[in-house]
Structure 1
Amino acid sequence: MGSTLEGVLEGYLTALKYERRVSSHTLIAYRRDLQRWIAHCRRVGIDRWDGLDEGTIRQYVGERRREGISARTLQRELSALRSLFDYLLKHRLAEDNPARRVRPPKSLRSLPETLSVDEAGALLNEAPKSVFEIRDRAMWELFYSSGLRLGELVALDVTDLDLSEAMLRVRGGKGGKDRILPVGRLAREAIEAWLKGRASWVAMDENALFVNRRGKRMTGRGVQLRLSEWGRRLGFDRPLFPHLLRHSFASHLLEASGDLRAVQELLGHADIATTQIYTHLDFQHLAKVYDQAHPRAKRRK
């Protein structure tokens, strides 16, 4: 493991990949954020991570704020630095974690954007006109049925599905955790329709559930482009993106069930506080439930 800024960074990223089994998207994000810290160290004449102190970290945060960088981005960059210093402490390459004494700027937590139930129906009920639209519809149904992340969907193999039991296995989700998810009836029907067409397109050695026109596994970017195209064609007044369907799954399920813990498990959230952002239930619905259920609120007949 090298002692230079870059050498330590590569050792840390290797540990993330093989020990913590983080996704490729997470690795890219960590590399990008920590390379910004390296650039800052170079500007102020620091050539080792243990030369980075609390004052220098605060200087960086202040500069980024003046550049108009969002509080959320700075929270992420500080989190990456704290995690790196934990790694340095573990390997005795530092004696302190100065990033833990720097508080990130607070940001207003925005509610996730979701589709209405009618909008979700407009997307999912559109009749496919080709084998690849059958594939697309199966992907949209699976996003909405099971609340998958984009990376989880494109990583699915055919063997991860058990349609007879109406379930699928997500392998190596966020944090390297596997989970079992239910698959709804309409999603199963859409997948079965796609599997019939998939056989004539898939490459011989390809196990991916969803493949492109070359018979190879779909990429995340390919899925994003297809969903965006569907949104434009169907006349949606805003861009469609895969996480919108995951947000819609969580919001609609929580509104119908009120079971926050179950939604947390289905989404694969390690912390229930992450799931609580979906508790923006319609106030009129809550008021109606309250009026009907609370013994001191029930209206006289």
Structure 2
Amino acid sequence: MLVPTPAWDDPAKRRVWAVRAASERDVDDLLNLLAYHLTTKGRQRSRTSISTYRLYGLAVRDWIAWAWPPGAEGPRVPLLKATEDDVDRWLAELLDQGGHLSEGSKPLTPSTAAAYLAGLRALYRALVWAGAIDRNPALEVRAPRDPTPRNERRPALAYPLYIRLLEHLSGDGAQEVRDRAAIRLMGDAGLRVAEVEALDVGDVDLGEQLVIVRAGKGGKRRSVPMTRALTAALVAWLGVRRAHAVPGEEALFVNLGGRKAKGRRLRAYSIRRFLDRYYRELGFPERYRGAHTLRHLAGTRFYQASGDIHAVAALLGHADVSTSAIYAKMDRSRLRELVSRLDG
């Protein structure tokens, strides 16, 4: 039977709806509850990023697939009676075997498993708030820690490889022009991939040579100066974009294909997809895969140019300047210079 989506702001109904959703394995309504709670009660509230919603949603779906496998007559772990031991077992399987949404998935890294745990904690916080349970079973579970330093887990893309990547996209086809501009926003200006997705045409100020990030991590706004090369890449893309964007579309980057998505906002997962394809085509080492290596490259270049982590924090939108200190560790050129002196 189809049931309408509940109004979670009704105290008289939310407990009934939450208990029903958990008891009937209604994944959509549980995710609806999670989103409502994040938006109205979470630390960031309405400024919660799209990437957080997506990651937490994936974590909740995986947890439910583990606790109540699809096709099973009933749950092996009732969602409203889960314990800390159950959450620990789920995390152990994520780290040893991988996710539970599809067969053949790779074991999760400790940092990704920790993010999944954060998503599960958020779900059970919402269920406690709704009155469906009294205690959050994931609250006291310890998140796995990765012994590998952060700067080694996701290093900055080496600058010579960045140049090779841009040369690989030196043509004047629409896709090359678009992707080159998007890549420069990450590699030159240090934008996160979600920030690139969220950019509108009006966020590019060519006169002032600024990119306005209106909703960075934590909902923070910042203005980032553009390099001449980035400005030229955006001018080229804006000239091409007119022929591909649907009327009324405000997004800076749009899809160039696809029956439904053509001419509409290009999503972060599509950016990650074409980046991974280019990295494979160029034979880049596995450690450099992913969009965040470009942001790390920008942070490293900012630090090399200034030696000022406060300036790096402002450009990258870090709330805590200590976060920016990682780019001093990522500055491999200085490490190589120090080591080369040993040969003298």
TM-score (norm 2): 0.70
Going from structure 1 to structure 2, the CA distance change for 1:194 and 1:24 (only over 3 Å counts) comes to: same
Q: Supply the RMSD in Å over aligned alpha carbons.
A: 3.2
Check the 8 A contact 1:162/1:168 in 2, yes or no. Answer: yes
Going from structure 1 to structure 2, the CA distance change for 1:69 and 1:215 (only over 3 Å counts) comes to: closer
CA distance in 2, matches of 1:209, 1:257: 30
Check the 8 A contact 2:201/2:251 in 1, yes or no. Answer: yes
What percent identity do the matched residue pairs reach?
31
Check the 8 A contact 2:156/2:330 in 1, yes or no. Answer: no
> 2:191: which partner in 1?
148
Going from structure 1 to structure 2, the CA distance change for 1:206 and 1:236 (only over 3 Å counts) comes to: same
> 1:101: which partner in 2?
140
> 1:219: which partner in 2?
267
> 1:118: which partner in 2?
160
The correspondence of residues 87-236 of structure 1 with structure 2, limited to 5 A, is 87-109=126-148, 110=150, 111=152, 112-125=154-167, 127-213=170-256, 214-231=262-279, 235-236=282-283
CA distance in 2, matches of 1:29, 1:155: 17
> 1:243: which partner in 2?
292
Check the 8 A contact 1:146/1:182 in 2, yes or no. Answer: yes
Q: Secondary structure of 2:120's match?
A: helix
Give the drift of 1:94.
4.4
> 1:11: which partner in 2?
33
TM-score (norm 1): 0.78
CA distance in 1, matches of 2:276, 2:229: 22
Check the 8 A contact 1:167/1:182 in 2, yes or no. Answer: yes
> 1:32: which partner in 2?
58
Amino acid at match of 2:113: L
Check the 8 A contact 2:33/2:126 in 1, yes or no. Answer: no
> 1:56: which partner in 2?
86
**Could you list the runs of 5+ residues in structure 1 that have no partner in the other structure?**
290-301
Check the 8 A contact 1:74/1:105 in 2, yes or no. Answer: yes
CA distance in 2, matches of 1:198, 1:103: 48
CA distance in 2, matches of 1:202, 1:64: 41
Q: Secondary structure of 1:83's match?
A: helix
Q: Secondary structure of 1:172's match?
A: coil
Amino acid at match of 2:161: E
Check the 8 A contact 2:224/2:315 in 1, yes or no. Answer: yes
Going from structure 1 to structure 2, the CA distance change for 1:250 and 1:36 (only over 3 Å counts) comes to: same
**Could you list the runs of 5+ residues in structure 2 that have no partner in the other structure?**
1-13, 69-74, 98-106, 257-261, 339-344
The correspondence of residues 253-292 of structure 1 with structure 2, limited to 5 A, is 253-272=302-321, 274-282=323-331, 285=334
CA distance in 1, matches of 2:330, 2:266: 35
| Cα deviation code 1:104-151 (max 9, x no counterpart) | 232223422322222223333563233432222222222212111222
Give aligned pairs, total: 286
Going from structure 1 to structure 2, the CA distance change for 1:281 and 1:206 (only over 3 Å counts) comes to: closer
